[in-house]
Amino acid sequence: MVWRRLLLDEHPHVATSLNNLALLYHSQRRYAEAEPLYQQALELWRRLLLDEHPDVATSLNNLAELYRSQGRYTEAEALNQQALELRRRLLLDEHPDVAQSVSNLGELYHSQGRYTEAEALNQQALELRRRLLLEEHPYVALSLNNLAELYRSQGRYTEAEPLYQQALELRRRLLLDEHPDVAFSLNNLAGLYRSQGRYTEAEPLYQQALELRRRLLLDEHPDVAFSLNNLAGLYRSQGRYTEAEPLYKQALEIREQRLGVNHPHTVTVRENLANLRTQLASEQ
C-alpha cells in the first residue's frame, strides 16, 4: 500500500486506504477480507483522531454494514447506534450523514423483523434526505426503495408499489439505464409483482435486471447469481421447471465460487435447486 510506504502506518491517509479497500471487498461479498481492514481503519482513526471525529463515525457505520450483511445483527446494532449518536453530536440532526445512519439502523431493524422501529427510521431518513438533498438525488431513491422493501415484507403491496416505481424512475433519470442501482430497482419491482402473482409483469423486469447486471458486473458477480436465482424462482412458481433448473445451477456455481459453499446465500440456492429437483422427480 503506497500510503503505508510513504507515511508509515500512523497517518489518516493510511486509514482511508484501508477503508476504501475494505469497501471494495465488501461490494464483492469478500467479507472475510473486508473485516480486518475495516477494523484496522477504525482503530487507526480512533488512535489518530480520537473518538470525536466524523471519520470515526464513518468507520463504525461501514463495519456495522458488513456485520449486517453477514447476519451478525447484535454486533451491527451496537456500531450503528454509536455511529448515529456520534454524527448527531458532531453534525447535528440536519446533515446527510445523520440520514445515512438513521437509514442504516432502519435497515438493520428491518432485517430483524422489527418492522415498527424500522418504519419510523426509514420514514425519518426519507424526509431528511428530501429536505437536505431535494427530490432529485440517488439517496432519495435509496430511501424510497428501502421503505418499499419494508412494506413488501409486511404484505403492504399497494403502499410498496408506487415507492418502487418512484425509485426506479428516479434512478433511471439520474443514473441513466446503465447503472447497477437501476438493476436493483428492476429486480425489486419484479419481486413485488411476483409476490402478488403478477408473473407476466415480473418476468421482463427480472430479465432486464439480469441482462443489465451481466453487462455491468460480468457473469461471475454475486448480484448476477441473485438475479439468476430470482428468475428461476419465478419460473418455478409457474411450473416452468425445466427453465428454472439451469438458472439455479448457474446461480449455485457462482455463489459457491464467490461466497463459499457454506455461505447462507449459497445454501439458499442449493436448497432451491434440491426442492426443484424433488418436484421434477415427483412429476415423472
Statement: residue 3 has pLDDT above 50: no
CATH of the domain at 93: 1.25.40.10
In a domain, 85, yes or no: yes
Q: Compute the mean pLDDT over every residue in the chain, rounded to the nearest whole number.
A: 93
Tell me the residue range of the domain where 54 lies.
Answer: 37-133
Q: Quick one: pLDDT at residue 264? A: 82
Q: Could you read off the pLDDT of 22-31 as tens digits, one per residue?
A: 999 998 888 8
Number of domains present in the structure of the chain: 1
Distances (CA, A) of 46 to 12, 57, 116, 171, 213: 10, 10, 34, 36, 38
What's the pTM value of the predicted model, to 2 decimals? 0.88
- C-beta separation of 22 from 52 below 8 A: no
| C-alpha closest to that of 251 among 276, 230, 277 | 230
- C-beta separation of 153 from 110 below 8 A: yes
Q: Quick one: pLDDT at residue 9? A: 64
In a domain, 179, yes or no: no
Enter the C-alpha cell of residue 13: 491517509
In a domain, 95, yes or no: yes
